[in-house]
Structure 1
């Protein structure tokens, strides 16, 4: 579990630079009263971020279960390759998918409307937490990247660890943004955002390589449940083979 948690944490820390560009405007618009005591401001900021983490954790459980169903029937290799390819498609056509697919577009609008309502609510810890929960559902390439890693773990526990690590990894920089957002220029955020697709593409390629079962340690190891053919007998009239489960 530690390895999966560290994988998610790495994605979260690196990807949090993307967060300050995409989710930064929302985070900066949260009605945190600067005149309140410092501990109340910190509590509000942490409630918002922990709400996001809670959503990511639940998504990790869900997609880990989906990945497990593929692993049980021996399709974990195909799932890893398909996930990597899908991630590349989202990376290239993500904006068009959000705007041209009615279901995704409608879901996106619904989340924005809910967030708009929540931002106008009284400043309470529960409201900040719920805002974070809803924000965690926003369509985002970085979240897709973490989910892609979670679904290939093959279990609900490992999937949740990936997403938990991912969520926690995004917190430090988001807190810095919310506390001192005016010191992080828009130009700097824009430059950082341009670097994230390259990182996402690298992870997608690793997922594809992993599914190819090339026997390369750490990069493309032999997956449990994969099949290979072993010749166990040979006769001029027939060849006897066994399917070996790895």
Structure 2
């Protein structure tokens, strides 16, 4: 059986990348709800409806576990999904706790990049309230990055002016850690690093989510020896266009470069 990955678009591939590295012999099915992307600017009720439609589709394909590779979807529906289904469901949330620990040591603030809906969500605000005793966390919605990613637009010449404008009200020297609270955002780490000083840590939860998946499958004795294949679906339709599949492969290669790793990516 396959491991299901779900996101509103291509952002979840930043988590799939780490899963392919950690579990190269598993088989995957990746569902991008491109018909409804972006989730972050829609109502909570609509997003919940889209999520359950997508997960129901993945269940019909036969999955042994689900990774909600979307911060917004995790915030909106993870609890209800776990109540409905009996297979492991792994969510992702902004890496606020490690960011606070890092920044407190240096007397700096934390800046969380996220979507508008996540920023409004009770789950996210409760997380920050529980951890941020010194009130050093600020949040900023960056919906434009989701739109850029869905257009496969990664040029610094295009992305940097957007980020510069959105960050203009902030005193960047105050921040020690930037948290990427949307799975689309790691595609832009290189441009972000040109805006912040080198000592600023830019972190996301993708690798930790993949590690959680691996631990869960091992604990439930569901690890298997597959081929490392990935099937892609766009809102229920299987992706078979060779050009689009090649674009997906290039996205994984981009993540490989950004991660500055030497080992090859397992992807078939």
TM-score band by shorter chain is under 0.3
Task: Kindly indicate whether structure 1 or structure 2 has the higher relative contact order, using CA contacts under 8 Å at least 6 residues apart.
Answer: 1
TM-score by length of 2: 0.23
Larger radius of gyration: 1
TM, length-normalised to structure 1: 0.24
The answer to which structure has the higher strand fraction is 2
